[in-house]
């Protein structure tokens, strides 16, 4: 069969590895009026439910053009076989978000497709997607002691970074290597969080189960930063892309990402990710 890297991390002969639901659900303090969440359960891990806000926010430059915390936060997802799709026409752009389970590779691929529906070029379109673990108790680590990222070229857990210097120590970001040279903590302007001095050298952010018996990870193509909000409401992981620099009238482009599920520790998940990720994805750091 080949090396361990070439086989699925979640070993299942049946195709129903994932059970994916669609719910409108309130979140205390974050979304008290509720929003739509995709719920993900893995047969190998009963009692653990993962949540996905797909997307959480859409941007044009620094302007929020859609979000799930204000206005109409309900998403009307459509199923076609195992694929889920949501579309939303906005003022100058149409967004289509697509979720594709891939049980043979123990992962779920997702894309955000932007189409310029205006008569002028549009710049700096971007999306933010939130993968949360609050209802997956075996994957929660209070201090980040089982949240893994490749920081400054080494895979390490995030409890040792200077979280205490963030306005909220539970919320920390890591910019991709090469974006900045300063080794300082930068508080966010409009959110209680901070960018840490460590540089992200890989798009994966991984949460590991107790004892390394299972791992989940999120990664995007053309990654710009990683983010962890480890508060008790969400316990979320983000892998965020660079914005789409420009989109001509009628032009369409995708932002692509993946959720990976592994019956093993973070090292095994990393090996599996590297075996399945498309060759054209931009993973290299400067």
Kindly report the CATH number assigned to the domain that includes residue 118: 2.70.98
In a domain, 8, yes or no: no
| pLDDT > 80? residue 12 | no
Report if residue 10 sits inside a domain: no
- Domain-located, residue 4: no
Distance CA 185, CA 183 (A): 7
Q: Tell me if 286 is assigned to some domain.
A: no
* Residue in 64, 55, 52 with CA at minimum distance from that of residue 254: 55
Whether residue 131 lies inside any domain: the answer is: yes
pLDDT for res 16: 39
Please indicate, yes or no, if residue 162 is contained in any of the structural domains: yes
Q: CA–CA separation, 262 vs 273, rounded Å?
A: 10
Contact indicator for 273, 257 with CB cutoff of 8 Å: no
The partner residues of 255 in beta bridges, in order of sequence, read 112
Taking the model in full, what pTM does it have?
Answer: 0.93
pLDDT at 270 over 50: yes
pLDDT category of residue 8 using cuts at 50, 70 and 90: low
Task: Supply the pLDDT for residue 9.
Answer: 62
Q: Residue 15 pLDDT > 60, yes or no? A: no
Cα dihedral sign, 179-256-61-190: negative
User: Quick one: average pLDDT of 190-215?
Assistant: 96
Residue 282 has pLDDT above 50, yes or no: yes
Average pLDDT of the segment spanning 92-108: 97
Q: Is residue 38, in this structure, part of any structural domain at all?
A: yes
Compute the mean pLDDT over every residue in the chain, rounded to the nearest whole number.
92
Per-residue pLDDT at 29? 78
Structural domain includes residue 209: yes
Asked if pLDDT for residue 137 goes beyond 80, the answer is yes
Report pLDDT for 70. 86
Mean pLDDT for 98-122 is: 97
Question: Model confidence at 31, in pLDDT bands (50, 70, 90)?
Answer: confident
Cα–Cα nearest to 146, from 209, 68, 99: 209
Residue 63 CA, distance from chain mean position: 21
Res. 286 pLDDT band, cuts 50 70 90: low
Instruction: Mean pLDDT check: name the lowest of 19-33, 93-107, 154-168, 190-204.
Output: 19-33
Considering all CA atoms of the chain, what is the largest pairwise distance in Å, rounded to the nearest integer? 55
pLDDT at 210: 92
Range of the domain at 219: 17-276
- Lowest-confidence pick of 67-76, 113-122, 213-222, 264-273: 67-76
| Structure confidence at residue 17 (pLDDT) | 86
Query: What confidence tier does 3 reach under pLDDT thresholds 50, 70, 90?
Result: very low
Q: What is the pLDDT of residues 40-84, one digit of tens each?
A: 999 999 999 999 999 999 999 999 999 999 888 999 999 999 999
Please count the structural domains in the chain.
1
Instruction: Say yes or no to pLDDT of 191 above 60.
Output: yes
DSSP H stretches of helix in the chain: 266-276
Is 7's pLDDT higher than 50? no
- Over range 23-38, report the average pLDDT: 89
């Amino acid at each position: 069969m080949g090396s361990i890297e070439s086989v699925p991390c979640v070993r299942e002969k049946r195709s129903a590895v994932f059970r994916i639901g669609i719910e409108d659900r309130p979140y205390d303090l974050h979304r008290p009026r509720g929003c739509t969440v995709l719920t993900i359960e893995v047969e190998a891990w009963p009692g653990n439910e993962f949540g996905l806000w797909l997307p959480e926010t859409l941007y044009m430059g620094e302007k929020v053009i859609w979000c799930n915390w204000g206005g109409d936060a309900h998403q009307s997802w459509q199923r076609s076989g195992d694929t889920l799709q949501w579309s939303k026409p906005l003022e100058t752009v149409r967004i289509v978000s697509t979720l594709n389970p891939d049980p043979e590779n123990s992962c779920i691929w997702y894309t955000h497709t932007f189409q310029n529906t205006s008569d002028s070029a549009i710049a700096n379109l971007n999306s933010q997607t939130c993968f949360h673990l609050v209802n997956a108790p075996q994957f929660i680590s209070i201090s980040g002691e089982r949240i893994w990222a490749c920081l400054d070229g080494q895979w390490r857990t995030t409890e040792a970074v200077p979280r205490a210097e963030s306005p909220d120590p539970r919320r920390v970001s890591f910019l991709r290597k090469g974006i900045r040279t300063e080794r300082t903590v930068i508080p966010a302007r409009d959110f209680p969080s901070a960018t840490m001095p460590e540089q992200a050298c890989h798009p994966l952010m991984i949460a590991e189960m107790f004892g390394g018996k299972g791992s989940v990870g999120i990664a995007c193509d053309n990654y710009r930063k990683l983010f962890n909000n480890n508060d008790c409401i969400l316990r979320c992981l983000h892998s965020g892309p660079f914005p789409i620099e420009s989109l001509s009238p009628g032009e369409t482009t995708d932002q692509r990402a993946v959720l990976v599920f592994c019956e093993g520790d973070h090292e095994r998940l990393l090996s599996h990710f590297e075996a399945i990720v498309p060759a054209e994805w931009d993973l290299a750091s400067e």
